[in-house]
């Protein structure tokens, strides 16, 4: 804990004064350009990966970068999605999975979660990804894990489209969706190409988008 406190003291004494003008602006309002949904894993830091300043990203973090489908009992994720899209008017949503994800690993290996009932219930929102992966052949256990990480990103992109605020923004042509997978060991990101339905290196394909609707009407279907 002392390391965390020391970090804050360094921020207060050294970092904050250097960016005081930025923080004065942020004290009055925020205007992030993107909603970034990713895992709670301590190794994944959205602002570090994307080199964004405070105020640039509206971030949702949870186990497995999951977005439950919209329902009669919306929770914290649903409320945050609604606020980001309907109030803050973000123009892009990124759902970012990552390598060596504990949540996805538990699903991939069929780990018993009876002693973690809340976790077990939460991971049911990735069931559609598991069903797809179970229907495929995989050369190795690692290949199965990697495929499930990617398929879960696709599943959560489908889930987020069931949220009314997102559906409306897509229909109005003011929102793009992105699906990313971050590799911790290499620092690389693969992005979902909505046309080919394959993940491609983002560095070589910086314009890749899972669903592009800004300036046009959303295509029909999932």
pLDDT digits (tens, 9 = 90+) for 135-158: 999 999 999 999 999 999 999 999
DSSP result, the chain? -HHHHHHHHHIIIIIHHHTHHHHHHHTT----SEEEEEE--TT--HHHHHTPPTTSEEEEEETTS--PPP-SS--HHHHHHHIIIIIS--SEEEEEEETT-HHHHHHHHT---TT-HHHHHHHGGGHHHHHHHHTS--SSHHHHHHHHHHHHHHHHHHHHTTSHHHHHHHHTT--EEEEEEE-TTT--EEEEETTTTEEEETTT-TT--SEE-TTSPPPS--
Band (214; pLDDT cuts 50, 70, 90) = confident
pLDDT digits (tens, 9 = 90+) for 81-130: 999 999 999 999 999 999 999 999 999 999 999 999 999 999 999 999 99
Looking at residue 222, what is its pLDDT?
A: 45
Domain ranges of the chain: 32-43+50-212
pLDDT digits (tens, 9 = 90+) for 37-54: 999 999 999 999 999 999
Q: Which residues are catalytic?
A: 39, 41, 43, 98, 101
CATH code 3.40.1050.10 for 32-43+50-212: yes
% residues pLDDT > 90 (the chain)? 93
Looking at residue 218, what is its pLDDT?
A: 59
């Amino acid at each position: 804990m002392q390391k965390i406190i020391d970090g804050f003291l360094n921020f207060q004494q050294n970092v904050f004064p250097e960016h005081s003008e930025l923080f004065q602006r942020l004290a009055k309002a925020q205007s992030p350009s993107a909603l970034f949904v990713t895992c709670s894993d301590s190794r994944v830091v959205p602002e570090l990966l994307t080199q964004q300043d405070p105020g640039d990203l509206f971030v949702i973090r949870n186990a497995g970068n999951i977005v439950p489908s919209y329902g009669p009992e919306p929770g914290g994720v649903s409320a945050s999605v609604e606020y980001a899209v309907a109030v803050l008017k973000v123009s892009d949503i990124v759902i970012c999975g990552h390598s060596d994800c504990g949540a996805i690993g538990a699903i991939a290996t069929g780990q018993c979660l009876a002693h973690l009932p809340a976790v077990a219930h939460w991971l049911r929102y990735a069931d559609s990804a598991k069903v797809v992966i179970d229907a495929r052949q995989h050369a190795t256990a690692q290949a199965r894990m990697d495929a499930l990480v990617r398929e879960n990103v696709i599943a959560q992109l489908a889930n987020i489209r069931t949220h009314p605020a997102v559906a409306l923004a897509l229909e109005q042509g003011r929102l793009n969706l992105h699906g990313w997978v971050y590799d911790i060991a290499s620092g690389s990101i693969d992005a979902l190409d909505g046309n080919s339905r394959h993940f491609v290196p983002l560095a070589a394909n910086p314009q890749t988008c899972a669903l592009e609707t800004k300036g046009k009407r959303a295509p029909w279907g999932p």
